[in-house]
Structure 1
Amino acid sequence: MLFLHFRIGDDCFALAAESILEIVPLVPLKKVRQAPDAVAGSFEYRGRYVPVIDLCALDVHRSARRRMSTRIIVVRHPHDEAGLIGLIAENVTEMLRLDPAQFAPFAPGPHGLVQRVELKDLLPAALPALVASR
């Protein structure tokens, strides 16, 4: 199975490629007033505005580092199939081909151990209503 390898802080994660619509560069974002710190903003994607969550801000309480390898992963909203959401992650540069059974809960990756993560588990339960997009 194919997975996208990325980092949140010092930890490595793998997200199933089938969950991903597109990976785009870290573009300028429009700030959303009074949104939680993890909501980095919104950007126009194929004619619609998509909210963007900074996974580093969410998990390690700092913004993702602005580097060439920091990207926005565009996915279908895990709690609203019609909605889209962007996820900012670091070191979004490699794909892994692994058997899902290898994750117990970690698998060997290119830079150490990698933990598999499901899309629905990346966002806390309170955020879906704040980042609903249509």
Structure 2
Amino acid sequence: MLFLYFRIGDEGFAMAIERIVEVVPLTELKKVRGAPDAVAGSFEYRGRFVPVIDLCTLELGRSARRRLSTRIIVMRHPQDDTVLLGLIAEKATEMLRLDPAEFAPFAPGPHGLVQRVELEDLLPVALLAAIRGQPVTSQ
């Protein structure tokens, strides 16, 4: 199975590519007034405005480092394939071919151990609902 490798701080992660549309260079973002801190802004992607979440802000309380390897991962929303969102991740430049069974819970990666994650593991339910434009309901 094919995975995108990326980092949040010092930790390595792998995400299956099924919902990934494209990995694009980090670009200037338009700030979204009143958005949570983790929402870095929005950018135009193929004629659509896509909200972008900074994974380092969400996890570490600091913005992702602006480097050539820091990218925006454009993904389909897990509950609605018509909704796109972007994730800012560091070192998002390598693909890994791994058997999902190798993650127990870590697998060998290009720079040490990596953990497999899904979008739902990275983003709070309320943030996913807000991106989709749906009210948050208790579960």
| TM-score normalised to structure 2 length | 0.92
What is the correspondence of 1:46-61 to structure 2 with a 5 Å cutoff? 46-61=46-61
Aligned length, in residue pairs: 133
Percent identical among aligned pairs is 75
SS of the counterpart of 1:5? Answer: strand
The alpha carbon displacement at 1:84 in A equals 0.3
1:72 is aligned with what amino acid? I
SS of the counterpart of 2:127? Answer: coil
On the 8 A contact 1:19/1:119 being kept in 2, the answer is no
The alpha carbon displacement at 1:24 in A equals 0.4
In structure 1, the partner of 2:32 is: 32
1-structure distance, mates of 2:81, 2:120: 12
The alpha carbon displacement at 1:99 in A equals 0.4
Distance 1:119 1:129, change over 3 A: closer
On the 8 A contact 1:79/1:120 being kept in 2, the answer is no
What is the correspondence of 1:20-99 to structure 2 with a 5 Å cutoff? 20-99=20-99
2:60 is aligned with what amino acid? V
On the 8 A contact 1:4/1:17 being kept in 2, the answer is yes
Moved more, 24-33 or 79-88: 79-88
SS of the counterpart of 1:130? Answer: helix
4+ runs deviating over 6 angstroms? none
SS of the counterpart of 1:114? Answer: strand
1:99 is aligned with what amino acid? D
On the 8 A contact 1:6/1:12 being kept in 2, the answer is yes
Is the helix fraction higher in 1 or 2? 2
| TM-score normalised to structure 1 length | 0.95
The alpha carbon displacement at 1:129 in A equals 3.2
Q: CA RMSD in A?
A: 1.1
2:74 is aligned with what amino acid? V
In structure 1, the partner of 2:136 is: none
In structure 1, the partner of 2:101 is: 101
Structure 2: segments with no counterpart, 5+ residues? 134-139
